[in-house]
């Protein structure tokens, strides 16, 4: 646990620096070009490369030294920052190098996350996995809060200064990881592993475990619905208040995610991990529906943090289930496949929310729209009320996902039906005479 603590602290510092520079770079692009499209391309470059390389990252994680993969990924992301810093210093920065370096960082981060997640269950005792995964969720809360600090830093030290801070933070992460001595079981692939070497091995392993297949379906559905809400929450807020209040409400929402991460780090989740999944889905659905009831900043200030509180709950319990139930010999490939599928839900959601909002739901909820006299009597009509209706629909769909999960007996009993792949009091894998998950 002490070794994990050192690595986690270094990685947290690096995430803070990366979040600061990512926000500032986005601001620079928008101010320099005035183009929402070019700004949105940064988000595309930050998401898609990581999705595409996730299966490859899983294969290499199960074949190569995981510590070296993490170090190489950190150095690759550092190289991207060095390129940007060089261009800024030469007053030669344009948008295209930003797209390329963002894509490089995205791919490196995917390798890092898969290797990091696969390393953890071999590093810490199984009884601490829930708390450890809760600690790892704190990085998301930090990323949401980063704009509050980044805006001030941009005025104080400029773009070059923020990039230097990012480089320093990355150096801290690389140094702490490099000097931390890790046990061979944590960094090296499972000896004598005879599982298939291709990235499809992770999918084939999941296919042989119906309970895990159901868990992946539920996890991906949650990510898709969460992405829709995340993509529309700012337009929803701006439909009834101004940018200053938006910043306050976004910070309040981020506090819910941060507090949820701290709670999961202290608690670790329920003894039956699947109960945490049910709880996250039900609470998430309820709080999404509550977003739609009234165009009030005070309402959002309460329900947004409560909704974001459910994200660490879902991520921690799902990740702990994968880490404890999947054979360590194929864990990297499984996590790579899960990351690819779950992450792919985000760009799909972002592609849908514009047409759904502008072309369907906003006209339905106009003052003279088809639903003005029915649903409009409950949540109101006019600007932004179509987005509010999307929140209501997404919340109901999340409750439907919870109901689906409950009707799947293999998923409901996953804690006992699938034996743990780790021993109870150590981070060692359970001994097995033959590799698991080789059948398709």
CA distances, 330 to each of 71, 111, 185, 220 (Å) = 21, 16, 14, 20
pLDDT at 435 over 80: no
Q: Are residues 181 and 257 in the same domain?
A: no
Q: Are residues 182 and 201 in the same domain?
A: no
Residue in this structure with the two tokens 């898609």, named with its chain if needed:
48
Q: Are residues 175 and 317 in the same domain?
A: no
| Three-state helix/strand/coil letters over 228-251 | HHHHHHHHHHHCCCCHHHHHHHHH
Q: Are residues 180 and 248 in the same domain?
A: no
The per-residue pLDDT for 125 is 82
Predicted confidence band of residue 377 (pLDDT cuts 50, 70, 90): very high
Q: Cβ of 89: how many Cβ atoms within 10 Å?
A: 11
Look up the CATH number of the domain holding residue 304: 1.20.1250.20
Q: Are residues 348 and 224 in the same domain?
A: yes
| Three-state helix/strand/coil letters over 294-313 | CCCHHHHHHHHHHHHHHHHH
Q: Are residues 169 and 105 in the same domain?
A: yes
**Would 262 be classed as within a structural domain?**
yes
Total-model pTM: 0.82
**Would 14 be classed as within a structural domain?**
yes
Gap between the Cα atoms of 348 and 337, Å rounded: 17
Number of domains in the chain: 2
**Would 37 be classed as within a structural domain?**
yes
Structural tokens at position 223: 């990510």
- What DSSP line would sit under 147-174, residue for residue? HHHHHHHHHHHHHHHHHHHHHHHHHHHH
pLDDT at 329 over 60: yes
**Would 163 be classed as within a structural domain?**
yes
Gap between the Cα atoms of 98 and 388, Å rounded: 34
pLDDT at 134 over 80: yes
The arithmetic mean of pLDDT across residues 179-201, rounded, is 70
The arithmetic mean of pLDDT across residues 2-21, rounded, is 86
pLDDT at 118 over 60: yes
Q: Are residues 334 and 393 in the same domain?
A: yes
Q: Are residues 166 and 81 in the same domain?
A: yes
Residue 162 CA to its chain's centroid (Å): 24
Q: Are residues 127 and 225 in the same domain?
A: no
Domain with 414 in it: 196-427+429-433
| CA proximity to 239, closest of 304, 300, 307, 285 | 300
Residue 85, C-beta contacts closer than 8 angstroms, at least 6 positions apart: 160, 163, 164, 167
**Which sign, positive or negative, has the C-alpha torsion 202, 205, 210, 212?**
negative
Give residue-wise pLDDT tens across range 53-80.
999 999 899 888 899 999 999 999 999 9
Structural tokens at position 73: 């990924």
Give residue-wise pLDDT tens across range 386-400.
999 999 999 999 999
The arithmetic mean of pLDDT across residues 6-31, rounded, is 84
Read off the DSSP letter of residue 218.
H
**Would 360 be classed as within a structural domain?**
yes
**Would 287 be classed as within a structural domain?**
yes
The per-residue pLDDT for 432 is 44
pLDDT at 33 over 90: no
Q: Are residues 262 and 213 in the same domain?
A: yes
Read off the DSSP letter of residue 126.
G
Q: Which residue has the higher pLDDT, 134 or 220?
A: 220
The arithmetic mean of pLDDT across residues 269-298, rounded, is 96
Residues 162-184 as b or e (16 or more Cβ within 10 Å = b): bbbbbbebbbbbbebbeeeebee
Give residue-wise pLDDT tens across range 226-253.
999 988 888 899 889 887 787 788 778 8
Gap between the Cα atoms of 324 and 217, Å rounded: 18
- What DSSP line would sit under 331-395, residue for residue? HHHHHHHHHHHHHHHHHHHHHHHHIIIIIIIHHHTSTTSTTTTTTHHHH--STTHHHHHHHHHHH
- The chain-wide mean pLDDT, for the chain, equals 86
Q: Which residue has the higher pLDDT, 213 or 122?
A: 213
Q: Are residues 209 and 174 in the same domain?
A: no
The arithmetic mean of pLDDT across residues 275-289, rounded, is 97
CA distances, 35 to each of 41, 246, 260, 398 (Å) = 10, 21, 35, 34
**CB–CB of 256/305 below 8 Å?**
yes
Structural tokens at position 62: 């199960």
**Would 438 be classed as within a structural domain?**
no
User: 196-205, 282-291, 410-419: which range is least confident on average?
Assistant: 196-205
Task: Name the domain boundary from 189, 212, 243.
Answer: 189
Residue 295 CA to its chain's centroid (Å): 28
**Would 172 be classed as within a structural domain?**
yes
Gap between the Cα atoms of 253 and 302, Å rounded: 8
pLDDT at 426 over 60: no
Identify the three-state secondary structure at position 183: coil
The arithmetic mean of pLDDT across residues 94-114, rounded, is 92
Q: Are residues 248 and 329 in the same domain?
A: yes
């Amino acid at each position: 646990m002490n070794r994990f603590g050192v690595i986690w602290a270094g990685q947290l510092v690096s995430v803070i620096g990366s979040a600061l520079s990512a926000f500032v770079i986005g601001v620079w692009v928008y101010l320099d070009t005035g183009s929402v499209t070019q700004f949105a391309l940064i988000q595309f470059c930050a998401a898609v490369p990581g999705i595409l390389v996730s299966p490859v990252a899983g294969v290499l994680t199960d074949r190569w030294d995981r510590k070296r993969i993490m170090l190489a990924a950190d150095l690759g992301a550092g190289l991207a920052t060095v390129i940007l810093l060089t261009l800024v210093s030469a007053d030669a920065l344009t948008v295209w190098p930003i797209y390329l370096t963002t894509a490089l960082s995205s791919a490196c981060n995917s390798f890092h996350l898969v290797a990091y997640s696969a390393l953890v269950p071999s590093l810490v005792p199984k009884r601490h996995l829930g708390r450890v995964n809760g600690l790892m969720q704190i990085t998301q809360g930090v990323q949401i809060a980063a704009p509050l600090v980044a805006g001030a830093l941009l005025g104080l030290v400029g773009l070059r200064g923020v990039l230097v801070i990012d480089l320093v933070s990355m150096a801290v992460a690389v140094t702490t990881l490099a000097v931390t001595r890790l046990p061979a079981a944590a960094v090296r692939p499972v000896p004598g592993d005879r599982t298939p070497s291709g990235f499809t091995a992770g999918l084939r392993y999941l296919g042989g475990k119906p309970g895990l297949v159901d868990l992946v379906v539920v996890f991906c559905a949650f990510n898709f619905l969460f992405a829709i809400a995340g993509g529309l929450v700012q337009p929803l807020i701006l439909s009834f208040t101004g940018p200053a209040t938006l910043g306050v409400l976004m910070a309040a929402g981020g506090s819910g995610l941060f507090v949820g991460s701290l709670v999961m780090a202290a608690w670790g989740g329920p003894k039956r991990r699947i109960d945490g999944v049910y709880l996250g889905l039900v609470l998430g659905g309820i709080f999404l529906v509550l977003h739609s009831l009234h165009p009030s900043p005070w309402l959002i200030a309460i329900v947004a943090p409560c909704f974001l509180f459910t994200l660490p709950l879902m991520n921690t319990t799902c990740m702990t289930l994968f880490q404890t139930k999947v054979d360590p010999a194929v864990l990297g490939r499984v996590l790579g496949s899960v990351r690819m599928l779950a992450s792919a839900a985000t760009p799909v959601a972002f592609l849908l929310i514009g047409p759904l909002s502008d072309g369907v739901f906003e006209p339905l909820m106009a003052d003279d729209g088809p639903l003005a006299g029915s649903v409009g009597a409950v949540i109101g009509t006019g600007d932004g009320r179509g987005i509010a209706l999307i929140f209501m629909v997404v919340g109901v769909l999340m409750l439907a996902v919870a109901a689906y999960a409950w009707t799947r007996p293999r998923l409901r009993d996953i804690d006992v039906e699938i034996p743990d792949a780790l021993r109870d009091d150590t981070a060692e894998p359970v001994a097995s005479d033959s590799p698991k998950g080789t059948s398709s």
